[in-house]
Amino acid sequence: MSSIKIVSLASFLLILGACSVFEPFVDRRRNAGQTDPAKIYVGRSTPQKPAICSNNLWTKAETIQALADKECQKHHTGTHAVKTDVSHLTCKLMLPTHTYFECQK
């Protein structure tokens, strides 16, 4: 393989790694300045139904569950989260899986 290809590949991987998030996160977006609780959240995640973006290759199910439980407790919508659905290739490039939960008491 030529040195140009190696440098190009290394540069691509470096940029991809620098622009990517590898830790799971709650997929929550908000309407700035909105005061109506029904219109404040616009992402897939709400305080009652957290949605977690993750990669099943390197994130354990227990970690995702703990993150969802923490969200329910943070917003006082329940004591634990129950998994309701999973969708693939709907989040970020390196974290392609959405795991949906519902807060329960």
Q: pLDDT value at position 50? A: 92
Q: Output the six-digit token pair for 35.
A: 């005061």
Mean pLDDT of the chain: 84
Q: Give the least confident one: 21-25, 35-39, 62-66.
A: 35-39
AA letter at 6: I
| CA–CA separation, 94 and 69 (whole Å) | 23
In the predicted model, what is the mean pLDDT of residues 54-65? 91
Which of the two residues, 39 and 11, has the higher pLDDT score? 11
pLDDT per residue as tens digits for the range 63-84: 999 999 999 998 888 889 999 9
In the predicted model, what is the mean pLDDT of residues 49-59? 90
Q: Is the per-residue pLDDT at 24 higher than 70? A: yes
Work out the pLDDT band at 17, boundaries 50, 70, 90.
low
| CA–CA separation, 11 and 48 (whole Å) | 42
In the predicted model, what is the mean pLDDT of residues 81-104? 91
